Chains A and B, each alone.
Chain A
Amino acid sequence: MLAAAAIRVLLGFSFKMLAAAAIRVLLVAAFIHPSYALYFHIGETEKKCFIEEIPDETMVIGKYRTQLWDKQTNSYLPSTPGLGMHVEIKDPDTKVILSRQYGSDGRFTFTSHTPGEHKICLHSNSTKMALFAGGKLRVHLDIQVGEHTNNYPEIAAKDKLTELQLRARQLLDQVEQIQKEQNYQRYREERFRMTSESTNQRVLWWSIAQTVILIVTGIWQMKHLKSFFEAKKLV
């Protein structure tokens, strides 16, 4: 019984340590807002779309944070409960690959399966009209693509890499991204070439067809008019 009590105290103690550490982490995270540096303003029904032209098998991580204008304090509130953003992501074939509602702070991620232009659209879904009485919502946005999505300190900690190994890993990721982009470039150039050749073909056929139509209509006109005038006994 004493042993059981001792074990319980020990477990409780280690749990408390973990809890304390977790609270510390949360406090730190809450205090220091992650620096999603760039921000812009969006109206209530406005939809803002961003285009990312990426090769396939590329990961994209988007993070946003919203702030609402408060008329009373004449400043932007640090966070707005009850206000969410709807995020919709379309792939190059205009098929929706992600359509979800997020809260006032959100993080969305997707991996492209086809190369091309992916469209990321954001619009707010304020359920209460009163929230937007001030008129503008401030949205902090950060979209990272490809090798920028890698969090190197985290990778170093997880795989226990030395500094040199980490640098090599970063260079490898960069080179992989360059390779993917070059591959995508080859695919795009092929599409461009097909379009140009199709235009070339169309112009060729059209010019031949035009000439034929011209000659045929000319001959038809002469023949018809000749027979018409002969019928009218004018020739």
Chain B
Amino acid sequence: MLSGSHSSFSLRVMLQVVWAQLLLCGWALGTELTFELPDNAKQCFYEDITTGTKCTLEFQVVTGGHYDVDCRLEDPEGTTLFKEIKKQYDSFTFTAAKDGAYKFCFSNEFSTFTHKTVYFDFQVGDDPPLFPNENRATALTHLESACVSIHEALKSIIDYQTHFRLREAQGRSRAEDLNMRVAFWSIGEALVLLVVSISQVVLLRSFFSDKKTTCTRVGS
């Protein structure tokens, strides 16, 4: 009856969702994170990658000091695939040759008191497909391939926007720093000026007060 058909329909929907999730699980997703790296600290991230997957790691230092950080990428056996010292921004693409946990670390150990904010984007494999595609044997229609190319173009726009936003954040933090420093320095310098000029006069007065007593004694 109605309830029966309803339950079978929701069952179908549930199964479709499960099937889609199953397929999704097979594809690894990309991660982009922004985290704080305190001074003298090292932060490592790991990811399990299967052989043959094309991966890209890119990072950018957002705030802090000279905007540089050490980066190092190692494969499951410990071989260093990528190593950069004091880099502000870099990007590295590689194809995984072995199965296992790949490790990449960001190090701020060379800095004594500035803590840094680092952004990184680690893309593993391709994007998950939109549909549980049973009909991937047939080629994409003209419209569908146009959609795919628009999607890729929009993705690169979003990527550029992110990098622009990070650079703008850098510029803005420097400007706010400068603003604060100018305020403190101007007040401080005005105070120093006043103190120095008053103490100059007081010192001169003290010289002449002493000389005056000796002079009068000599005079008389």
Residues of A within 8 A of B (CB): 10, 14, 17-18, 21, 24-25, 28-29, 32-35, 37-41, 48-53, 141-143, 152-154, 156-158, 163-164, 166-168, 170-171, 174-175, 177-178, 181-182, 185, 188-189, 191-192, 195-196, 198-199, 202-203, 205-206, 209-210, 213-214, 217-218, 220-221, 224-225, 228-229, 232, 234
Min CB distance A27 to B, Å, is 10
Given known A-B contacts A154-B20, A157-B17, A166 and B131 have beta carbons under 8 A apart: yes
> Contact at B33–A50, with CB atoms within 8 Å?
yes
> Contact at B130–A51, with CB atoms within 8 Å?
no
User: Nearest A residue to B34 by beta-carbon distance?
Assistant: A51
User: Nearest A residue to B117 by beta-carbon distance?
Assistant: A51
> Contact at B47–A14, with CB atoms within 8 Å?
no
Q: Chain B interface: which size bin?
A: 35 or more
> Contact at A234–B208, with CB atoms within 8 Å?
yes
User: Nearest B residue to A174 by beta-carbon distance?
Assistant: B154
Residues of B close to A52: CB separation below 8 A = 34
Min CB distance A48 to B, Å, is 7
Q: B189 on the interface (CB 8 Å rule)?
A: yes
Residues of B close to A48: CB separation below 8 A = 35
* Contact with A164, one of B35, B43, B143, B204 (Cβ below 8 angstroms): B143
Residues of B close to A41: CB separation below 8 A = 44
Report the separation of the CA atoms of residues A225 and B15 in the bound assembly, to the nearest whole angstrom: 97
> Contact at A199–B182, with CB atoms within 8 Å?
yes
> Contact at B158–A142, with CB atoms within 8 Å?
no
Given known A-B contacts A163-B131, A195-B176, A143 and B33 have beta carbons under 8 A apart: yes
The dominant DSSP class at the A interface is helix
> Contact at B172–A191, with CB atoms within 8 Å?
yes
Residues of B close to A163: CB separation below 8 A = 130-131, 144
Number of inter-chain CB pairs below 8 Å:
184
Pull 16 A–B residue pairs with CB atoms less than 8 Å apart, ordered by A.
A28-B18, A37-B48, A38-B45, A141-B31, A153-B16, A156-B131, A164-B143, A189-B168, A191-B172, A195-B172, A202-B186, A205-B186, A209-B186, A213-B190, A217-B197, A224-B201
Report the separation of the CA atoms of residues A178 and B171 in the bound assembly, to the nearest whole angstrom: 21
Report the separation of the CA atoms of residues A49 and B38 in the bound assembly, to the nearest whole angstrom: 11
Residues of B close to A225: CB separation below 8 A = 201, 204
Given known A-B contacts A18-B7, A52-B34, A32 and B22 have beta carbons under 8 A apart: yes
> Contact at B154–A175, with CB atoms within 8 Å?
yes
> Contact at A228–B122, with CB atoms within 8 Å?
no
Q: B200 on the interface (CB 8 Å rule)?
A: yes
Residues of B within 8 A of A (CB): 3-4, 7, 11, 13-18, 20-22, 24-25, 27-29, 31, 33-36, 43-48, 117, 122, 124, 130-132, 143-144, 147-148, 150-151, 154-155, 157-158, 161, 164-165, 168-169, 171-172, 175-176, 178-179, 182-183, 186, 189-190, 193-194, 197, 200-201, 204-205, 208, 212
User: Nearest A residue to B181 by beta-carbon distance?
Assistant: A199
Given pairs A153-B132, A185-B165, 10 additional interface contacts (CB within 8 A): A37-B48, A40-B45, A51-B35, A154-B20, A178-B154, A192-B175, A199-B182, A206-B186, A209-B190, A234-B212
Residues of B close to A213: CB separation below 8 A = 190, 193-194
Residues of B close to A171: CB separation below 8 A = 147, 150-151, 154
Report the separation of the CA atoms of residues A233 and B169 in the bound assembly, to the nearest whole angstrom: 65
Min CB distance A178 to B, Å, is 6
> Contact at A181–B165, with CB atoms within 8 Å?
yes
Min CB distance B58 to A, Å, is 14
Report the separation of the CA atoms of residues A41 and B186 in the bound assembly, to the nearest whole angstrom: 46
> Contact at A167–B179, with CB atoms within 8 Å?
no
Residues of A close to B193: CB separation below 8 A = 210, 213-214, 217
Residues of B close to A17: CB separation below 8 A = 7, 11
Top-5 shortest CB links A-B = A153-B20, A206-B186, A217-B197, A167-B147, A51-B34
